[in-house]
Chains A and B, each alone.
Chain A
């Protein structure tokens, strides 16, 4: 990593984060558009969850992570608080790894 590379990556990322809030600003958007952007964001977040659970570089795998996230999904379903969900996911994945999974 070099400083120029770091600055380019930082500026580029910031520009993408700021595009919406700066361009749309204080304008009031039609409800339909707001709902559409919300739906798009939720879709991308779901994809991010799926990829972070099943992707290992460029391939798909079923490993300790998936077991941890599955345990978390059950806990969410049962209404567990956020902290419990996250700790359970990490502990389950760690346990599966310790058992050689």
Chain B
């Protein structure tokens, strides 16, 4: 148990720091798009989900209009509903604590928490990643938004590959089970097939249908 807790602390902090660099990339992008640094920081603190933040800023920067930015951002955020549902056993406690913890429900904290063998370790993983990442995300955004010109754009460092790679590393333990592997592969295939057809965010939601493929495997396994 002890070593499992140490590993969670080590990996959780590493994730937070790595994602902080993506936060800096967001700050630089917001600055380039002419968004006030204070507003960029408020976005990171209040919205706190990278995908929707990047999408909203990109839409505004390309002259897409505020309404399109908000709708696009919300569509991309909708995956947090099932994330929250899956984390319910991990996020026990008083209503106040659950309300506060909800802001930390993001891709990385969900992936890391669900990869743990027990709910207790899942809770530890969720808070370690959630809190470290929240702090690093704010620091990164502020650095990028206020000092963007001085640090240059970290996007050139291959940051766009770091996000999917990190997420994949976090969820890999979960993919040891055949049903999860089949559901994940089916979902990924569905999302890619739908990408040219649907607006950003919708393919991710559609991928949820992959669950049925996973359930079929599970039923087969029992027979």
Question: Which A residues have a C-beta under 8 Å from some C-beta of B?
Answer: 1-3, 5-10, 12-14, 16-22, 24-27, 29, 34, 36-55, 57-60, 64-65, 67-69, 72-73, 76, 81-83, 85-95, 97
Contact = CB atoms under 8 A, between A and B. Distances in A.
Given A9-B70, A13-B49, A42-B183, 15 more contacts: A3-B39, A21-B84, A21-B88, A21-B105, A25-B98, A43-B180, A43-B207, A46-B171, A48-B204, A58-B196, A65-B160, A72-B165, A87-B162, A89-B165, A89-B166
B91 interface: yes
A27 B185 CA distance: 31
Main secondary structure of the interface of B (DSSP, over half): helix
A22 B102 contact: yes
B215 A10 contact: no
Given A40-B211, A76-B168, A51 B203 contact: yes
A39 B175 CA distance: 10
Given A51-B191, A76-B172, A44 B83 contact: yes
Interface string B88-125: 11011101001101110111001100100000000000
Nearest to A13: B77
A4 B132 CA distance: 28
Interface stretch (B52-60, B133-141, B144-152): B52-60
B86 A72 contact: no
B171 A45 contact: yes
B187 interface: yes
A8 B162 contact: no
A68 B158 contact: yes
A51 B158 contact: no
A43 B187 contact: yes
A90 B162 contact: yes
B95 A44 contact: no
Contact of A39 (B15, B179, B200): B179
Contact of B168 (A14, A19, A49): A49
A68 B114 contact: no
A97 B158 contact: yes
A86 B108 CA distance: 13
Nearest to B110: A41
A12 B2 CA distance: 39
